[in-house]
Structure 1
Amino acid sequence: MNYLRRAAARAQAQAMLSVLHRDHPDTTQRLGVGALHELRQWPGLEVREIPDERSGNGCSVSGAYFAGSPAVLAVAASASMARRDFTALHELGHHLQQTMVELMDVLLDQPDGGATLEESACDAFAADILLPQPLADQHITAAGPTAGAAVALWRASNASRMATCVKASDRLPAPGHVLLIDSDGALAFAASHGLPPLRRGSDQSHVSVLRTALSGSGRTEGRGRLAYRDGILGDELYLQTAAMGGYLLAVAVTDLAPWRSFAPSARQAGPEPAEYTCAHCGEDFTSYAPACTRCESAPCPDCRHCGCDRKVSERQCASCFVVHPLAMFDGASSRCRDCD
């Protein structure tokens, strides 16, 4: 499903470009050179620069889209010009998808109403305008992006760091991320493929590979687990980093790392079952279910009991004080049959 999501985002971005060429011919090149300047000339649109702290609307970028007449493309004023152009194009992607019927229909077919696809397609659409395929082909080979190649692509273009991350992630050979990390180890931007997306602003400084890169030249590689919300760690990934103009670019993949000659999957193949003997009915069984924290046994699939429900097999007679099997007692009687 995650692989299809990238294919769907790529198809939606291409459809958005087709709509752009149809309704606004000859504008793609001007958008690539100066998106903010070009979009300020469009009727029915207002480009508004806002403080960065007001842009947190769930977008992967520091911006927001507000439908209306005119529709508003809000762009964080504190960002660099290249970043503002990428943000403006991302928000233009929202505008196209929320106003063009042929694009809206694709979103409505998605299980989540199209929220994930819309966001991913906006990133891909913006990156395609700023970083045309021929330029990307000059720097990223069929094996996939290395951190150094992604930085070289950025330096050869006028695109933002974020646009470069998106373009590089589009060519990841396996599930993974292309990350932009600030000097404190916080995630400034992430473009993900085949793995759950990481939250912008999350602290990744605990990852030793990233910590080493931040304290040194920026170039390093190794393995590590990235942090999701509430301190939850993801799968172990191969990581390679490179300095990127005051930030750190990191490429992280589960396997097929382009900078290694051999990179088997670092990811867990799936949950491992455990074997138990039921303390209640004595049956042996295998289970994927979580074990009870008290008895460290999963529930038996036959009798539904864990080890906390251990069956009592003996009882002491209240008359002769001899411990007998339960079969020597009638029901809940405290006296054995010999004493009755």
Structure 2
Amino acid sequence: MDGWDQLAAIGDPRAIAARIIQECNTFNLSALRSDPFGTLMRSTEITVTIEAGLVNTGCGGGGYYRPTPPTIHLHPATSRRDNFTLLHELAHHLQQTHDQWGYTLIDMDALIRRKIEEAVCDQFAAQILMPVGVTDRHDVSVHPADVMAGFFARTRASRAAALQRVREMLPQGARWILAVADLDGVVSTSASTYDDPPPPKGFAQEGFRRVAVEAMDAAVRREFHDGIEYRTGAVLDDLRVEAALDCEERYVFLALRPTTTNGSGTWTFPAQECSNPLCEKVFQPLKSSGRCQSCQGFRCPYCHRCSCSAPDRPTTCTSCFVPYTPAEMASGKHECF
């Protein structure tokens, strides 16, 4: 089968996707790279159907492929996200209709087939959207944040796709934590190449906000003493950070690596101080009932308040300067001595 049996035995999605791209003669790959949506909409071989109410199937993130007739059902998101989804679903079509690889897929166990077919689809989309140059291969081990920003600037790929492309380009054994955050430090996507976990998505990192401010002026290369905070209250420290602002100046690409000799960050578990001025007790996060969904602050195990539920009126009488009691704070009544 001209090497397809060997590719199937090895099971390397990158190599399989590269071979499918090499043998593809039904689509203009340059056109797919520059305008995936327009190219596929004009195609006579496959139909793209836009369905705003499409339920997320988990395949490609925002769509799915049906072979009869060949159709990509797209749940539209942002244009860059749609580009990856469309190429991912196109790869299902190219794999299943390939005169050799298609039969190899049919002979596979269903679970194994799904796993490898999905992985090949991701690789196909990544390789079409973000071809890797010699400079990229050299820089990725040294300045992965710059490479992520470069992919986003010169291609039609999303920020998340750029991060995943860099993650899979990093050499085996490399220890990097990759993230994309908005200018307020809120993480939109992240990944780790080793045991230390990535920063949680949708969670604001004060350290990332400070790095984003610096990145507005120039690329960042420095030690990162703020640490990465996790929802449990744990903080990962002893890291270096590099960061590059995206070309739209709306998000920052970050890459962090450990500075310790054992190649891992240092875990700390800082105590929290209650934000209620009538309480102000110090407690360990594990004693809290959890974070508030609004302010993300830990609820105090003593007064059961967080920062957004703490009283905002004065805590001391402006006439007699005597602190209000909890009962007086609750009732709003106070009599001076």
Task: State the TM-score, normalizing by the size of structure 2.
Answer: 0.55
Residue aligning to 1:309? none
SS, match of residue 133 in structure 1 = coil
Paired AA for residue 179 in structure 1: A
Distance 1:198 1:28, change over 3 A: farther
Taking the aligned partners of 1:204 and 1:9, their CA distance within structure 2 comes to 39
Aligned residues: 245
SS, match of residue 36 in structure 1 = helix
Offset at residue 168 of structure 1 (A):
1.8
Residue aligning to 1:73? 72
Q: Tell me, yes or no, if the aligned pair for 2:244 and 2:253 is still in contact at 8 Å.
A: yes
Taking the aligned partners of 1:46 and 1:196, their CA distance within structure 2 comes to 43
Taking the aligned partners of 2:264 and 2:182, their CA distance within structure 1 comes to 25
Distance 1:25 1:77, change over 3 A: closer
- Could you list the runs of 5+ residues in structure 2 that have no partner in the other structure? 1-8, 268-337
Q: Tell me, yes or no, if the aligned pair for 1:65 and 1:71 is still in contact at 8 Å.
A: no
2:278 paired with 1:266: no
Distance 1:266 1:126, change over 3 A: same
Task: State the TM-score, normalizing by the size of structure 1.
Answer: 0.55
Residue aligning to 1:30? 31
> Max radius of gyration: which structure?
1
Q: Tell me, yes or no, if the aligned pair for 1:179 and 1:251 is still in contact at 8 Å.
A: yes
Residue aligning to 2:58? 58
Taking the aligned partners of 1:104 and 1:226, their CA distance within structure 2 comes to 46
SS, match of residue 250 in structure 1 = strand
Distance 1:231 1:98, change over 3 A: farther
SS, match of residue 58 in structure 1 = coil
Residue aligning to 1:40? 41
Distance 1:186 1:66, change over 3 A: farther
Paired AA for residue 243 in structure 2: T
Distance 1:234 1:54, change over 3 A: farther
Taking only the aligned residue pairs, the percentage that are identical comes to 22
1:1-340 aligned at under 5 Å gives the runs: 11-25=12-26, 27-43=28-44, 45-51=46-52, 54=54, 56-58=56-58, 62-80=61-79, 82-96=80-94, 100-103=102-105, 110=112, 114-115=114-115, 118-134=117-133, 137-138=135-136, 140-141=138-139, 143-173=141-171, 174-183=174-183, 185-190=185-190, 193-194=193-194, 202-205=201-204, 207-214=205-212, 217=215, 220=220, 222=224, 224-225=227-228, 227=230, 238-244=240-246, 245=248, 246-253=250-257, 265-267=263-265
SS, match of residue 12 in structure 2 = helix
Taking the aligned partners of 2:84 and 2:206, their CA distance within structure 1 comes to 31
Offset at residue 32 of structure 1 (A):
1.2
Distance 1:26 1:88, change over 3 A: closer
Per-residue CA distance 1:68-101 (angstroms, 9 max, x = gap): 4234434443413x44322211232344456634
CA RMSD across the alignment: 4.3
Q: Tell me, yes or no, if the aligned pair for 2:84 and 2:126 is still in contact at 8 Å.
A: yes
Taking the aligned partners of 2:48 and 2:196, their CA distance within structure 1 comes to 31
Q: Tell me, yes or no, if the aligned pair for 2:72 and 2:86 is still in contact at 8 Å.
A: yes
Distance 1:214 1:63, change over 3 A: same
Q: Tell me, yes or no, if the aligned pair for 2:130 and 2:155 is still in contact at 8 Å.
A: yes
Paired AA for residue 251 in structure 1: A
- Could you list the runs of 5+ residues in structure 1 that have no partner in the other structure? 1-7, 256-261, 270-340
Q: Tell me, yes or no, if the aligned pair for 1:73 and 1:92 is still in contact at 8 Å.
A: yes
Q: Tell me, yes or no, if the aligned pair for 1:139 and 1:152 is still in contact at 8 Å.
A: no
Bigger mean CA offset, 244-253 vs 21-30:
21-30
Paired AA for residue 137 in structure 1: T
Taking the aligned partners of 1:195 and 1:140, their CA distance within structure 2 comes to 24
Q: Tell me, yes or no, if the aligned pair for 2:83 and 2:156 is still in contact at 8 Å.
A: no
Taking the aligned partners of 2:54 and 2:235, their CA distance within structure 1 comes to 29
